[in-house]
Chains A and B, each alone.
Chain A
C-alpha cells in the first residue's frame, strides 16, 4: 500500500472492511498514518486566543517544518491539545467529539473532563469537533454519534484528557514555585501551593503548554467526584431558551443561495420530461437544474434567493416521471408477503430444540406488525456547501448537523472530486436526529454537494444551502424498517417455556453499507434481532428473513429494540397472565440470579410506583416492562386506562440502570423524552405506508407524533452505581410501548399485536 497523505485525517477512522471497500471502489490504496496529531489541529489551536495544552512542541515543530508529535505513544484522541483550551481569563473550552442533538453530550463530556482537570465548572464551555482524526469515537474508531455510545465510549478518554491537562498545569506551577508537583493540589481552576499561595489555570496555561504531555496519569477515586454525578444544568440551556442558539439551518454566509430538490415520487424513479418555464419565472429563482438523486433516481433542483422563492419555484415545476424501472411498493401487498414469509423458518440465529412444542400443555400463537417510521427531527435536514478554488486547490466547506462527519466528508470529496483533506466539516448544533443524521450513504450530503457542483457549473459561484421541507423529510425515505414477527410458544401450567419458535421478517439496515462487515453475520443483520430472547433463558428457535424492498431503511432511535422489546415483553406478560402469575414476580423468577441490573431496575420502578400496593382509580391497570439496550436497562411501570376503545397512558415510573449516572438531570430528560417517543409509536397514525410506490403521508397532519396532551406523569429513578457508565440516548424508548400494552391487555384481555395500537 502506498502512503497517500491526503487520506490521513479520514483514514484514521475507518474500519478495515470499509477501507478495503473504498480502495476497490476508488481504485486507490489508502494507508493509515501513524498516531500523530494532524497538523491542522495544532495550527488551528496555535492561532486560537487561548492555549491548547500540549500544543507548544507541535507549534514549534510546525514552525520548524518538522512534524513530530507532542507525546509519542498517544493517539490523536488522547492528546489534550485537541480537546482543551484555557484562556487567560480562566475560560476552559472543551471540544466534544460527538454531535449535540438533544442528548446533552455538549454538557456531559465537558463535565467528565472538567472533573479530572479540577476546573471551575462555571468557566467551562463546550464546542463541537469536526472530521479531524482526533474526534473519532475511540471504541468504534470512526466519527460516530450513535449506539448510545458517547459517554460509554468516551468516559475514560475524557477523564484521561482532563487528568493529563491537570498534570501539566501542576508541573508548570511547581516549576514556578520551585517545589515538587506532588506537594501541590488543585482546586476549582487553581493550583494550590505552599503557604496559601495559589495560581489560576488561566495564568498557568501558557507555561503549561511547554510541558510535555504525560502518558500515564492517575485518575480520581470516584468518591471524590464533585462534578460527575451531580445534576448539572445544560450549558446550552440559555441559548436554547432565548432563540440565540444557532443550528445548521441557521448558517448565513455572504451571497448564499437556498436550494430545494424535487425528489422522484417513487424511490429511484427518473424524469420523463421537465417543464421549468413557470418555475424560472418566479422572482428570486436563479437556476433550475436537472440532477441525479439517491438510489439512481433523478430530480430537479431549484436554486433561489431564500427558501420561499425556491419552494415557490419547485411548486411551479411541471414534471413527468418514468417509474417503470423501479419497484412500486404497496403496503397491503407487502404485509401479505411478509406474513407468508413469517410462516417459514428463515436464517437461524438461535436453534433450540422445538420438539416439546407438540406436547406443550399451553400455547400462544401470535403475529405482530410494525410499520415503517420516519425520524422526523424538528430541524428539517439541511446541508450548506461552499466550494472555492479550482483544480487541485479546490476547497470544500460543509455546514451541517451530522452524526457521522467523517463519512460525510468522504462523500463530499467523492462527489466534488477533491482530496478529502480539502473538505472541512463544520459540525453544527442539530435540531434532533434520532439516527437520520447518521446515513451510511450520506444521502442528503451527497445531494447537497451535487447541487453545489451543478450550481457552480451553472455560474452560481456562491455557498448553497440545500433544505428539505417537512414533506421531503416524511416522504424521503431512510425509515425504521417495517417488520412482522411470528411466535409460537409452548409452555406448562407454571409458565415454564418448553419451546419458543420465532420468526422475524424485515429489511436489513446494514446490507450494502460499510457497516455490513460488523453488523451482519451469516446473512443475519443483528440490528433486526437485537433485544430478542435475552435476558430470559428460554429455549428459542429464532430466525429471520431479510426481503429486499425499494424503500431505504435506517437505524431509528433504539434500532431493533423498537420492535423486539415490544414482542418479548408483551409475550412474557401474556405467559404470566395465562398461568395466573403476577407479571413482576414471573419476570423476577425468569431473571434468576444472572441479571442483577435488570432486577434492580425493575424492582426500583416497582417500589417507587407503588405497584401492587397502591390502588389505582377505577378503570386503570398496571403494566410492566423491562428491557436492556445499548448496555443500559430500563424498566417501566405504567398506569393506563381504555375508554371506549381509546387507550390512555396516565403515569409512568422508570427504573434505570446505566451504571454511574454522569448527569442525572440529563438522564431524567433522556428517559422522559425516549418514553414519549416510544409512546408516539403507539398512537394511531404513527406509520409510513405506501401505495403505488408513493409514501402516503406528507407532514405532521398524517404522520402522527406525540404531543403535549399525550405526555403522562413521569418519575425517573436511577439505580445507584459506581461502575463505568453506559448509554442513555436510546434505552428509555423500547420498554414504554410494551408496558403500556400490558396494561391494556390486563384491561381488555387482549394484547395489541403490534404498533401503532389497533384496538378492535
Chain B
C-alpha cells in the first residue's frame, strides 16, 4: 500500500499497487472530480498531472506515481495557471454536460504551462486527446486563448 503525494499531501492509499490512479482517487479516496470516460486513455476525461505532465490516470498504476507529485482538478485552484484556466472556463461558459471538463481543464493547464501563447494548431494538438461529446471545442479554444492572455 503505497504513499502518494496527492495535491501536496502525502496520502496512504489503501489499494493494490496495480490499481490505476483514477480508481485510487475515485473509489479509495473518494475524490470524484477526476472522471472515468473510457478506461483506455482514449478520451482524456481522467487527466491529472503527474509531476506537471498531463497524464491519463485510467491507465497509470499508482506504483508509477510513487515519489512523484499528483495534482488533480480539486487542487487546481491553488495553481496560478490552473486558476486562470478555470476562470476563463467560467467566463466563456464552456461546459455543457460538464463531465469531460475536469480533463479538458487539466489538459489546457498543462498546455499553458508549456506554451504561454498557443496557436490554434497548438491547441488542436494538445487537446485532441480530450473528447467532448457535447461539442464544446469552440469555447474550449476561446477559453484557452483568453486564459493565455491573462497570464502574460
**A is bound by B:** yes
By a beta-carbon cutoff of 8 Å, the part of chain A in contact with chain B is: 100-104, 233-234, 236-247, 249-250, 252, 258, 283, 305-308, 311, 376-380, 429-434, 467, 469-471, 665, 669-670, 672-677, 699-701, 705-711, 713-714
A38 CB, nearest partner CB in chain B, Å = 30
B26 CB, nearest partner CB in chain A, Å = 7
A672 touches B97 (CB 8 A): no
- Those 9 A-B pairs whose CB atoms lie nearest each other, nearest first: A431-B99, A243-B33, A676-B135, A240-B98, A243-B73, A102-B97, A673-B135, A306-B27, A102-B96
Q: Which of A258, A431, A434 contacts B27 (CB 8 A)?
A: A258
B39 touches A470 (CB 8 A): yes
Would you list which residues of chain B between 21 and 78 have a CB under 8 Å from chain A? 23, 26-28, 30, 32-40, 42-43, 45, 72-74, 76-77
A307 touches B130 (CB 8 A): no
B110-136 CB mask vs A (1 if < 8 Å, else 0) is 000000000000011101111111111
B137 touches A711 (CB 8 A): yes
Q: Which of B35, B36, B45 contacts A307 (CB 8 A)?
A: B36
B73 touches A705 (CB 8 A): no
Contacts of A243 in B (CB 8 A): 33-34, 72-74, 76, 102, 105
Q: A434 to B73, alpha carbons, bound, how many Å? A: 26
B101 touches A240 (CB 8 A): yes
A669 touches B98 (CB 8 A): no
Task: Determine whether B138 belongs to the interface, using a CB cutoff of 8 Å to chain A.
Answer: yes
Given A377-B133, A378-B37, A378-B43: 9 more A-B contacts, CB < 8 Å: A233-B90, A241-B98, A243-B73, A247-B99, A249-B32, A308-B19, A311-B39, A672-B136, A710-B137
Q: A103 to B96, alpha carbons, bound, how many Å? A: 6
Chosen A-B contacts, 19 in total, with CB atoms closer than 8 Å, are A102-B97, A236-B95, A237-B90, A240-B98, A241-B95, A243-B74, A243-B76, A308-B19, A376-B133, A378-B97, A378-B134, A432-B133, A433-B97, A467-B36, A470-B42, A677-B135, A699-B40, A708-B140, A711-B135
Contacts of B45 in A (CB 8 A): 378
Count of chain B residues with Cβ under 8 Å from any Cβ of A?
58
Tell me the nearest residue of chain B to A103, going by C-beta. B96
B133 touches A380 (CB 8 A): no
B74 touches A708 (CB 8 A): no
B94 CB, nearest partner CB in chain A, Å = 7
Contacts of B35 in A (CB 8 A): 247, 249, 378-379, 431
Q: Which of A233, A236, A434, A470 contacts B37 (CB 8 A)?
A: A470
Contacts of B105 in A (CB 8 A): 241, 243
Tell me the nearest residue of chain B to A675, going by C-beta. B135
B19 touches A677 (CB 8 A): no
A708 touches B137 (CB 8 A): yes
A699 touches B42 (CB 8 A): yes
Contacts of A434 in B (CB 8 A): 133
A242 touches B77 (CB 8 A): yes
A258 CB, nearest partner CB in chain B, Å = 7
A241 touches B33 (CB 8 A): no
Task: Determine whether B11 belongs to the interface, using a CB cutoff of 8 Å to chain A.
Answer: no
A710 CB, nearest partner CB in chain B, Å = 8
B38 touches A714 (CB 8 A): no
* Interface of B: prevailing SS: loop
B26 touches A432 (CB 8 A): no
Contacts of A706 in B (CB 8 A): 135, 137
A708 touches B101 (CB 8 A): no
Q: A240 to B100, alpha carbons, bound, how many Å? A: 9
Contacts of B34 in A (CB 8 A): 243
Tell me the nearest residue of chain A to B37, going by C-beta. A378
Q: A596 to B139, alpha carbons, bound, how many Å? A: 31
Contacts of A467 in B (CB 8 A): 36
B100 CB, nearest partner CB in chain A, Å = 5
Contacts of A711 in B (CB 8 A): 135, 137-138, 141
Contacts of A713 in B (CB 8 A): 138
Q: Which of B23, B26, B40, B127 contacts A708 (CB 8 A)?
A: B127
Contacts of B15 in A (CB 8 A): 308
B40 touches A237 (CB 8 A): no
Tell me the nearest residue of chain B to A233, going by C-beta. B93
B77 touches A714 (CB 8 A): no
Tell me the nearest residue of chain A to B24, going by C-beta. A308
Task: Determine whether B16 belongs to the interface, using a CB cutoff of 8 Å to chain A.
Answer: yes
Contacts of B38 in A (CB 8 A): 470, 699-700
Q: A676 to B20, alpha carbons, bound, how many Å? A: 32
Q: A699 to B33, alpha carbons, bound, how many Å? A: 22
Q: Which of B33, B74, B89, B99 contacts A237 (CB 8 A)?
A: B89
A252 touches B30 (CB 8 A): yes
A241 touches B86 (CB 8 A): yes
A377 touches B93 (CB 8 A): no
A665 touches B93 (CB 8 A): yes
Tell me the nearest residue of chain A to B124, going by C-beta. A709
B124 touches A306 (CB 8 A): no
Q: A306 to B14, alpha carbons, bound, how many Å? A: 12
Known: A378-B133, A669-B139, A699-B38. A708 touches B123 (CB 8 A): yes
B13 CB, nearest partner CB in chain A, Å = 12
Contacts of B23 in A (CB 8 A): 306-308
Q: A670 to B77, alpha carbons, bound, how many Å? A: 28
Known: A283-B16, A432-B133, A700-B131. A240 touches B95 (CB 8 A): yes
